[in-house]
Structure 1
Amino acid sequence: MSAVLAAAGRIDIQQVSISLGQGAQAFEAVQGLECQIQPGEFVCILGPSGCGKSTLLGALAGHLQPRSGRLLVDGQPVRGPSPQRGMVFQQHTLFPWRTVRDNVAFGLKMHGMPKAERQAAADEMLALVGLEGFAERWPDQLSGGMQQRVEIARVLINRPQLLLMDEPFGALDALTRLKMQELLLEIWTRIRTTLVFVTHDIDEALFLADRLLVMSPRPGRIIEDLRLDFARPRTSELVTRFEFTRLKRHCLELLRHEEGRQLPRLDPLGLPLEHSRPRFAI
């Protein structure tokens, strides 16, 4: 899967509002979302719990329909699920009665691909995620991180134009999580599909993304759109750099923002303005 998919995967979110629940229990989850995501971009969505991050991802996957506005992928309205919009959740959805190879190849089986071809494609995907030699294992014989690798391979085998990830590493320990982040960047560098990644972890968002969308508390709105110019390839050393910690502090202030207060802003150097002014003792 070395082909670059840069020509596909554009997302247009045009004044999208989404409501959840029925009748008196209904509430607005996200409100007036407006942004464009270019083909091949790696975008992280960051926000407090309950702000509608996963709701937006579910709408992009085709599982939810907006109450108002338009949601387009490559110029076409999203009207339902599609293999071209692959979804990876926090908990894997592998079939425990199928081997690793058969789990990865399942989508191709549903499309009628002959057994030899789909198994060869599955082995290619397993090599991509670093699981050569595990094709005949059962899911419960793998660690949590390895199970998520299989889940990613199962989605990527459909060669999606858009990869959607909903806190996929949230249940992993810190070291495994870092390894999975580095692996994801390596995979994305090779396939360059558009990737939208939901997280509530600031370090994870800043480490992974080209671009960071920060959402407000419910109803979720996009309150910041940050371009992250850290050089690639990225290593764990990045999180210790001064520029990284400045942006992390700014994101913390955005997440702590209360309605009615002026949003914190960055100066040209990336330092929040309220911290960039000199303070004098009186």
Structure 2
Amino acid sequence: MTTNIATLRGGVKIDRLRLVLGQGARAFEAVQDVSLDIAPGEFICLLGPSGCGKSTLLGALAGHIPASSGSITVDGTAISGPHPERGLVFQQHTLFPWKSVLANVAFGLKMQGVARKEREARARELIALVGLEGFEQHYPSQLSGGMRQRVEIARVLITHPRVMLMDEPFGALDAQTRLMMQHLLLDVWARIRTTIVFITHDIDEALFLADRIFVMSPRPGRIVEELRLDFERPRGAGLVTSPEFTRLKRHCLDLLHPEAHPQPLARLSPLGPPIEQLQRKTA
């Protein structure tokens, strides 16, 4: 299932993007003047403190949050709303609890009208790719947190998205499982080579996974520095103790240390504003 590099899609261009959330006196600028160019098949991380607009920016990439100004395109086409070619993986899984692993992974193809035999064959291939062969008939409640996230990744990949958007997908996992999932994700990405935009506030995770890191400022979120990582792939556990890894980690810590401390914000979902804001609006 290795993708030919020459056929890669998923080039992302963000040009002077500004995102304002809320209305009237409660409106605030979440993202300010962000410009990025992401090559097809590239693995990039957005690294920043909580409340800096990382998830808001991911929501705009997903098509759930409209741009206040500026633009986002994928392969030259402007984003105008959600689309299966931009798959989302959240920190908490979104699997159907009443469906088996096989049915969850195959669901996207079912919605596209793909015949049962074909969609289940493709689902089994991806289930094997994420290391869950033999668990096809299990239900989400019978799986560990790491296993559920593997199913989530397979579910998103089955429709061959141009871009996979990952919002701190391993944040709720224990340290050992998190490290295992990082290795698994890199192995899957090396075979599929879809473009990945990965949100994290964990410096080690960003340095271990990414081709490039875009470090964001506290709110309103701006790109304060781009770091290109030249570590060889495949990457092993020994990387995190290397002198260059340690140097870059110190540099990231310096970048993330804010000079001021703005009022904390509720963590924003890529699907839009916090639920309490919606409740106030409809009250």
Normalising by structure 1, report the TM-score: 0.90
Q: What residue in structure 2 maps to residue 3 of structure 1?
A: 3
Write the distance in 2 (CA, Å) between the matches of 1:4 and 1:143: 33
Gaps of 5+ in 2: 261-283
The structure whose RCO (Cα within 8 Å, separation 6+) is larger is 2
Number of matched pairs: 259
Q: How much has 1:203 moved relative to structure 2?
A: 0.1
Q: What residue in structure 1 maps to residue 119 of structure 2?
A: 118
Does residue 158 (structure 1) correspond to residue 159 (structure 2)? The answer is yes
Q: How much has 1:112 moved relative to structure 2?
A: 0.8
CA contact (8 A) 1:16 1:32 kept: yes
Q: What residue in structure 2 maps to residue 195 of structure 1?
A: 196
Q: What residue in structure 1 maps to residue 247 of structure 2?
A: 246
Trace 1:170-185 onto structure 2 (pairs within 5 A): 170-185=171-186
Write the distance in 2 (CA, Å) between the matches of 1:51 and 1:4: 36
Trace 1:76-91 onto structure 2 (pairs within 5 A): 76-91=77-92
Q: What residue in structure 2 maps to residue 47 of structure 1?
A: 48
CA contact (8 A) 2:8 2:193 kept: no
Write the distance in 1 (CA, Å) between the matches of 2:259 and 2:41: 34
Q: What residue in structure 1 maps to residue 62 of structure 2?
A: 61
Q: How much has 1:40 moved relative to structure 2?
A: 0.8
Write the distance in 2 (CA, Å) between the matches of 1:63 and 1:128: 29
1:60-107 CA-partner distances (Å, limit 9, x unpaired): 011111100011110111011111101100000000000000000001
CA contact (8 A) 1:216 1:223 kept: yes
Write the distance in 2 (CA, Å) between the matches of 1:105 and 1:250: 43
CA contact (8 A) 1:18 1:29 kept: yes
1:158-199 CA-partner distances (Å, limit 9, x unpaired): 001101100000000000000000000000011111110000
CA contact (8 A) 2:9 2:40 kept: yes
Write the distance in 2 (CA, Å) between the matches of 1:147 and 1:121: 18
Match of 1:92, SS state, is: coil
Normalising by structure 2, report the TM-score: 0.90
CA contact (8 A) 2:85 2:163 kept: yes
Q: How much has 1:7 moved relative to structure 2?
A: 2.9
RMSD of Structure 2 on Structure 1 (CA):
0.9
Match of 1:198, SS state, is: strand
Gaps of 5+ in 1: 260-282
Q: How much has 1:2 moved relative to structure 2?
A: 2.6
CA contact (8 A) 2:8 2:194 kept: no
Question: Letter of the aligned partner of 2:160 in structure 1?
Answer: R
Question: Letter of the aligned partner of 1:2 in structure 2?
Answer: T
Write the distance in 1 (CA, Å) between the matches of 2:186 and 2:240: 15
Write the distance in 2 (CA, Å) between the matches of 1:202 and 1:35: 20
Q: What residue in structure 2 maps to residue 13 of structure 1?
A: 14
Q: What residue in structure 1 maps to residue 103 of structure 2?
A: 102
Question: Letter of the aligned partner of 1:247 in structure 2?
Answer: L
CA contact (8 A) 1:47 1:215 kept: yes
Identity %: 67
Q: How much has 1:152 moved relative to structure 2?
A: 0.2
1:5-32 CA-partner distances (Å, limit 9, x unpaired): 6531111110000011122111000000
Q: What residue in structure 1 maps to residue 281 of structure 2?
A: none
CA contact (8 A) 1:44 1:196 kept: yes
Question: Letter of the aligned partner of 2:141 in structure 1?
Answer: D
1:220-270 CA-partner distances (Å, limit 9, x unpaired): 0000000000011001110001100100000000000426xxxxxxxxxxx
Question: Letter of the aligned partner of 2:85 in structure 1?
Answer: Q
